[in-house]
Amino acid sequence: MSDSNSIPIQTSGLTKYYGSSLGISGLNLEVKQGEIFGFLGPNGAGKTTTIRILLDFIRPSSGNARVFGLDSNRNSPKIKSRIGYLPGEYGMYEKMTGFEYLRFLGSLRGYEKPPLRDSVIELLGLDISKRIKSYSHGTKQKLAVVQAFMHDPELLILDEPTTGLDPLIQQSFYELMLEMKKRGKTIFFSSHVLSEVEKVCDRAAILKEGKLIAVHEMADIKNIRLKSIEIIFKQEVDRAIFKLNGVRRVEQNANTIRLWVDSNINGILRRISEHPVENMSFRDASLEDIFMEYYSE
Protein backbone atom coordinates (compact mmCIF):
# COMPACT_ATOMS: atom_id res chain seq x y z
CA MET A 1 0.00 0.00 0.00
CA SER A 2 1.42 3.39 -0.96
CA ASP A 3 1.69 6.24 1.53
CA SER A 4 -1.17 8.27 0.14
CA ASN A 5 -3.42 5.20 0.26
CA SER A 6 -2.80 4.86 3.97
CA ILE A 7 -3.98 8.40 4.71
CA PRO A 8 -7.66 8.04 5.53
CA ILE A 9 -8.58 11.68 4.88
CA GLN A 10 -6.67 14.36 3.07
CA THR A 11 -8.01 17.65 1.77
CA SER A 12 -6.12 20.25 -0.15
CA GLY A 13 -7.36 23.81 -0.64
CA LEU A 14 -10.90 22.54 -0.26
CA THR A 15 -13.35 25.36 -0.92
CA LYS A 16 -17.10 25.33 -1.23
CA TYR A 17 -19.43 28.17 -2.05
CA TYR A 18 -23.22 27.91 -1.91
CA GLY A 19 -24.07 30.55 -4.47
CA SER A 20 -22.29 33.59 -3.12
CA SER A 21 -22.08 32.42 0.49
CA LEU A 22 -18.98 30.64 1.71
CA GLY A 23 -19.21 27.13 3.10
CA ILE A 24 -15.52 26.37 3.60
CA SER A 25 -12.39 28.03 2.33
CA GLY A 26 -8.98 26.57 1.49
CA LEU A 27 -9.26 23.68 3.91
CA ASN A 28 -6.04 21.66 4.23
CA LEU A 29 -6.53 18.71 6.49
CA GLU A 30 -4.91 15.34 7.07
CA VAL A 31 -6.32 12.64 9.29
CA LYS A 32 -3.89 9.86 10.18
CA GLN A 33 -4.53 6.15 10.20
CA GLY A 34 -5.80 4.87 13.56
CA GLU A 35 -6.52 8.20 15.24
CA ILE A 36 -9.68 9.77 16.57
CA PHE A 37 -9.83 13.18 15.04
CA GLY A 38 -12.22 15.80 16.37
CA PHE A 39 -13.62 18.45 14.09
CA LEU A 40 -14.74 21.37 16.19
CA GLY A 41 -16.76 24.42 15.40
CA PRO A 42 -20.08 26.07 16.03
CA ASN A 43 -23.07 25.66 13.69
CA GLY A 44 -22.29 27.11 10.28
CA ALA A 45 -18.52 26.77 10.65
CA GLY A 46 -18.34 24.30 7.74
CA LYS A 47 -18.06 20.94 9.52
CA THR A 48 -20.99 19.29 7.74
CA THR A 49 -19.98 20.83 4.41
CA THR A 50 -16.56 19.19 4.70
CA ILE A 51 -18.11 15.84 5.60
CA ARG A 52 -20.56 16.02 2.71
CA ILE A 53 -17.74 16.66 0.27
CA LEU A 54 -15.82 13.67 1.65
CA LEU A 55 -18.91 11.54 1.01
CA ASP A 56 -19.56 13.03 -2.44
CA PHE A 57 -22.98 14.40 -1.54
CA ILE A 58 -21.81 17.82 -2.69
CA ARG A 59 -18.89 18.83 -4.91
CA PRO A 60 -16.16 21.30 -4.01
CA SER A 61 -15.95 24.66 -5.80
CA SER A 62 -12.19 24.18 -5.84
CA GLY A 63 -9.52 22.03 -4.21
CA ASN A 64 -9.85 18.32 -3.67
CA ALA A 65 -10.69 15.75 -1.04
CA ARG A 66 -9.12 12.31 -0.94
CA VAL A 67 -10.18 9.35 1.17
CA PHE A 68 -7.67 6.48 1.35
CA GLY A 69 -5.82 8.29 -1.42
CA LEU A 70 -8.85 8.14 -3.73
CA ASP A 71 -10.67 11.15 -5.13
CA SER A 72 -13.89 11.56 -3.16
CA ASN A 73 -15.94 12.20 -6.30
CA ARG A 74 -14.45 9.84 -8.88
CA ASN A 75 -14.06 6.86 -6.54
CA SER A 76 -17.07 7.38 -4.35
CA PRO A 77 -18.46 3.78 -4.33
CA LYS A 78 -15.00 2.32 -3.64
CA ILE A 79 -14.52 4.73 -0.75
CA LYS A 80 -17.95 4.06 0.68
CA SER A 81 -17.32 0.34 0.85
CA ARG A 82 -14.62 1.14 3.43
CA ILE A 83 -16.40 3.72 5.57
CA GLY A 84 -19.23 3.99 8.05
CA TYR A 85 -21.15 7.24 8.23
CA LEU A 86 -23.45 8.75 10.79
CA PRO A 87 -25.10 11.93 9.52
CA GLY A 88 -26.07 14.80 11.78
CA GLU A 89 -29.51 14.92 10.23
CA TYR A 90 -31.20 11.99 8.52
CA GLY A 91 -34.41 10.16 7.76
CA MET A 92 -35.06 6.45 7.88
CA TYR A 93 -37.56 4.12 6.23
CA GLU A 94 -40.18 4.49 8.92
CA LYS A 95 -42.31 1.54 7.85
CA MET A 96 -39.42 -0.89 8.32
CA THR A 97 -38.49 -2.44 11.64
CA GLY A 98 -35.03 -1.69 12.99
CA PHE A 99 -34.00 -5.23 11.99
CA GLU A 100 -35.27 -4.82 8.42
CA TYR A 101 -33.51 -1.48 8.10
CA LEU A 102 -30.18 -2.90 9.22
CA ARG A 103 -30.63 -5.95 7.01
CA PHE A 104 -31.38 -3.69 4.04
CA LEU A 105 -28.33 -1.45 4.59
CA GLY A 106 -26.16 -4.49 5.31
CA SER A 107 -27.27 -6.11 2.06
CA LEU A 108 -26.26 -2.97 0.11
CA ARG A 109 -22.77 -3.56 1.50
CA GLY A 110 -22.92 -7.24 0.58
CA TYR A 111 -23.46 -8.63 4.07
CA GLU A 112 -26.03 -11.20 5.08
CA LYS A 113 -25.20 -10.35 8.68
CA PRO A 114 -22.72 -7.51 9.26
CA PRO A 115 -19.99 -8.66 11.67
CA LEU A 116 -20.46 -6.08 14.45
CA ARG A 117 -24.21 -5.67 14.21
CA ASP A 118 -25.27 -7.73 17.19
CA SER A 119 -22.49 -6.56 19.50
CA VAL A 120 -23.21 -2.86 18.86
CA ILE A 121 -26.94 -3.45 19.29
CA GLU A 122 -26.24 -5.12 22.61
CA LEU A 123 -23.87 -2.38 23.74
CA LEU A 124 -26.44 0.33 23.03
CA GLY A 125 -29.39 -1.67 24.32
CA LEU A 126 -31.40 -1.27 21.13
CA ASP A 127 -34.65 -3.11 20.40
CA ILE A 128 -34.72 -3.73 16.63
CA SER A 129 -37.99 -5.65 16.53
CA LYS A 130 -40.24 -2.56 16.38
CA ARG A 131 -41.12 -0.33 13.47
CA ILE A 132 -38.87 2.70 13.15
CA LYS A 133 -41.85 5.06 13.20
CA SER A 134 -42.45 4.06 16.82
CA TYR A 135 -38.86 4.94 17.84
CA SER A 136 -37.98 8.00 19.89
CA HIS A 137 -35.29 10.36 18.63
CA GLY A 138 -32.72 8.74 20.90
CA THR A 139 -33.59 5.23 19.69
CA LYS A 140 -33.31 6.35 16.07
CA GLN A 141 -29.91 7.78 16.90
CA LYS A 142 -28.87 4.41 18.34
CA LEU A 143 -30.04 2.70 15.15
CA ALA A 144 -28.06 5.23 13.10
CA VAL A 145 -24.99 4.47 15.21
CA VAL A 146 -25.43 0.73 14.62
CA GLN A 147 -25.69 1.14 10.85
CA ALA A 148 -22.49 3.18 10.83
CA PHE A 149 -20.46 0.68 12.89
CA MET A 150 -22.00 -2.70 12.03
CA HIS A 151 -19.83 -3.57 9.01
CA ASP A 152 -16.59 -2.87 10.89
CA PRO A 153 -15.46 -0.05 8.58
CA GLU A 154 -11.87 1.15 8.31
CA LEU A 155 -12.94 4.77 8.65
CA LEU A 156 -15.88 6.20 10.56
CA ILE A 157 -17.19 9.63 9.70
CA LEU A 158 -19.53 10.83 12.40
CA ASP A 159 -21.39 14.12 12.33
CA GLU A 160 -22.37 15.17 15.87
CA PRO A 161 -22.82 11.53 16.86
CA THR A 162 -23.94 11.86 20.48
CA THR A 163 -26.88 14.18 19.79
CA GLY A 164 -29.97 12.62 21.34
CA LEU A 165 -28.14 9.86 23.23
CA ASP A 166 -28.69 9.77 26.96
CA PRO A 167 -25.54 10.18 29.15
CA LEU A 168 -25.22 6.46 29.92
CA ILE A 169 -25.43 5.52 26.27
CA GLN A 170 -23.02 8.34 25.43
CA GLN A 171 -20.53 6.66 27.73
CA SER A 172 -21.03 3.35 25.91
CA PHE A 173 -20.60 5.18 22.66
CA TYR A 174 -17.25 6.64 23.74
CA GLU A 175 -16.16 3.15 24.76
CA LEU A 176 -17.18 1.90 21.33
CA MET A 177 -15.11 4.62 19.67
CA LEU A 178 -12.08 3.81 21.80
CA GLU A 179 -12.52 0.11 21.07
CA MET A 180 -12.58 0.83 17.32
CA LYS A 181 -9.43 2.92 17.70
CA LYS A 182 -7.74 0.04 19.55
CA ARG A 183 -8.53 -2.16 16.57
CA GLY A 184 -6.74 0.27 14.27
CA LYS A 185 -9.78 2.06 12.86
CA THR A 186 -9.80 5.77 12.12
CA ILE A 187 -12.56 8.04 13.39
CA PHE A 188 -13.30 11.51 12.11
CA PHE A 189 -16.05 13.18 14.04
CA SER A 190 -17.52 16.60 14.24
CA SER A 191 -18.79 18.00 17.47
CA HIS A 192 -19.45 21.11 19.39
CA VAL A 193 -19.40 19.23 22.68
CA LEU A 194 -15.89 19.99 23.85
CA SER A 195 -15.88 17.61 26.78
CA GLU A 196 -16.38 14.60 24.49
CA VAL A 197 -13.60 15.78 22.18
CA GLU A 198 -11.36 16.14 25.21
CA LYS A 199 -12.34 12.66 26.36
CA VAL A 200 -11.73 10.61 23.22
CA CYS A 201 -9.75 12.53 20.59
CA ASP A 202 -6.09 12.25 19.69
CA ARG A 203 -6.16 15.45 17.67
CA ALA A 204 -8.69 18.15 17.01
CA ALA A 205 -9.14 20.78 14.34
CA ILE A 206 -10.91 24.03 15.01
CA LEU A 207 -12.99 25.53 12.26
CA LYS A 208 -14.20 29.11 12.21
CA GLU A 209 -16.35 30.66 9.50
CA GLY A 210 -15.31 28.02 6.99
CA LYS A 211 -11.61 28.31 7.71
CA LEU A 212 -9.34 25.94 9.57
CA ILE A 213 -7.76 27.98 12.33
CA ALA A 214 -5.88 25.34 14.28
CA VAL A 215 -5.08 21.65 14.45
CA HIS A 216 -3.76 20.42 17.77
CA GLU A 217 -2.72 17.18 19.40
CA MET A 218 -4.95 16.85 22.43
CA ALA A 219 -1.87 16.20 24.59
CA ASP A 220 -0.40 19.51 23.38
CA ILE A 221 -3.62 21.34 24.13
CA LYS A 222 -3.52 19.97 27.64
CA ASN A 223 0.11 21.04 28.01
CA ILE A 224 -0.30 24.54 26.66
CA ARG A 225 -3.66 25.16 28.17
CA LEU A 226 -4.50 28.48 29.67
CA LYS A 227 -4.81 29.18 33.37
CA SER A 228 -7.93 30.78 34.59
CA ILE A 229 -7.65 33.17 37.55
CA GLU A 230 -10.72 34.48 39.31
CA ILE A 231 -10.17 37.41 41.68
CA ILE A 232 -12.81 38.99 43.88
CA PHE A 233 -11.59 42.48 44.79
CA LYS A 234 -12.80 44.38 47.86
CA GLN A 235 -13.93 47.13 45.52
CA GLU A 236 -14.46 47.46 41.82
CA VAL A 237 -11.29 47.92 39.76
CA ASP A 238 -10.81 49.06 36.20
CA ARG A 239 -10.36 45.99 33.97
CA ALA A 240 -7.93 48.02 31.85
CA ILE A 241 -5.22 47.48 34.46
CA PHE A 242 -4.96 43.90 33.22
CA LYS A 243 -3.89 44.89 29.74
CA LEU A 244 -0.68 43.03 30.40
CA ASN A 245 1.58 40.69 28.53
CA GLY A 246 0.29 37.10 28.97
CA VAL A 247 -3.34 38.02 29.60
CA ARG A 248 -5.46 36.54 26.82
CA ARG A 249 -8.89 37.51 27.97
CA VAL A 250 -10.55 39.50 30.73
CA GLU A 251 -14.13 39.28 31.95
CA GLN A 252 -15.56 41.51 34.66
CA ASN A 253 -18.66 41.25 36.78
CA ALA A 254 -18.71 44.07 39.36
CA ASN A 255 -15.89 43.29 41.85
CA THR A 256 -15.07 39.98 40.22
CA ILE A 257 -12.47 39.78 37.48
CA ARG A 258 -11.73 36.62 35.55
CA LEU A 259 -8.45 36.38 33.65
CA TRP A 260 -7.22 33.79 31.18
CA VAL A 261 -3.47 33.85 31.17
CA ASP A 262 -0.82 31.83 29.38
CA SER A 263 2.43 33.41 30.69
CA ASN A 264 3.83 36.27 32.84
CA ILE A 265 2.15 34.93 35.95
CA ASN A 266 4.48 36.90 38.27
CA GLY A 267 3.75 40.22 36.54
CA ILE A 268 0.03 39.56 36.72
CA LEU A 269 0.18 38.64 40.41
CA ARG A 270 2.10 41.83 41.12
CA ARG A 271 -0.64 43.86 39.43
CA ILE A 272 -3.33 42.03 41.42
CA SER A 273 -1.49 42.73 44.69
CA GLU A 274 -1.71 46.48 44.07
CA HIS A 275 -5.44 46.24 44.94
CA PRO A 276 -7.13 44.79 48.05
CA VAL A 277 -8.25 41.25 47.28
CA GLU A 278 -11.08 39.42 49.04
CA ASN A 279 -10.63 36.03 47.39
CA MET A 280 -8.75 34.45 44.52
CA SER A 281 -8.71 31.05 42.77
CA PHE A 282 -6.62 29.37 40.07
CA ARG A 283 -7.62 26.57 37.78
CA ASP A 284 -6.61 25.06 34.46
CA ALA A 285 -8.74 26.53 31.73
CA SER A 286 -11.11 24.00 30.16
CA LEU A 287 -11.05 23.06 26.51
CA GLU A 288 -14.12 25.23 26.20
CA ASP A 289 -12.10 28.20 27.42
CA ILE A 290 -9.43 27.49 24.83
CA PHE A 291 -12.08 27.13 22.20
CA MET A 292 -13.66 30.45 23.17
CA GLU A 293 -10.22 31.98 23.00
CA TYR A 294 -9.98 31.03 19.32
CA TYR A 295 -13.40 32.40 18.59
CA SER A 296 -12.81 35.67 20.35
CA GLU A 297 -9.72 36.40 18.26
Applying CB under 8 A, does 104 fall inside the site for another protein?
Answer: yes
Q: Count Cβ neighbours within 10 Å for each residue of 281-292 and write b for 16 or more, e otherwise.
A: eeeebebebbbb
The residues, any chain, with a CB within 8 Å of residue 81's CB and separated by 6 or more, are 109
Of residues 31 through 90, those in contact with another protein by CB under 8 A are: 52, 55-59, 76-78, 80-81, 83-85, 87, 89-90
Residue of 7, 70, 92, 292 that binds another protein (CB under 8 A): 92
The DSSP-derived string for 165-210 is --HHHHHHHHHHHHHHHHTT-EEEEEES-HHHHHHH-SEEEEEETT
**Would you give the binding string for another protein spanning residues 147-166, x where CB under 8 A is met?**
xx------------------
Nearer to another protein, 22 or 92 (CB): 92
SS3 category, 109: coil
Q: For residues 285 and 227, is the Cβ–Cβ distance under 8 A? A: yes
Q: How far is the CB of 136 from another protein (least distance, A)?
A: 17
Cα–chain center distance at 121: 23
- Per CB under 8 A, does 112 bind another protein? no
Can you name the residues that pair with 216 across neighbouring β-strands?
A: 204
Binder of another protein out of 19, 91, 167, 276 (CB under 8 A) = 91
Kindly tell me which of 37 and 85 has the beta carbon lying closer to another protein: 85
**What does the angle CA 82 – CA 203 – CA 33 come to, to the nearest 5 degrees?**
30
Nearer to another protein, 109 or 271 (CB): 109
Pairing mode of beta strands 62-67, 21-31: unpaired
Min separation Cβ 199 and another protein, Å: 25
**145 lies in the site for another protein, by CB under 8 A:** no
The least CB distance from residue 55 to another protein, in Å, is 6
Min separation Cβ 224 and another protein, Å: 36
Which residues bind to another protein, rule: CB under 8 A? 52, 55-59, 76-78, 80-81, 83-85, 87, 89-95, 104-105, 107-109, 144, 147-148
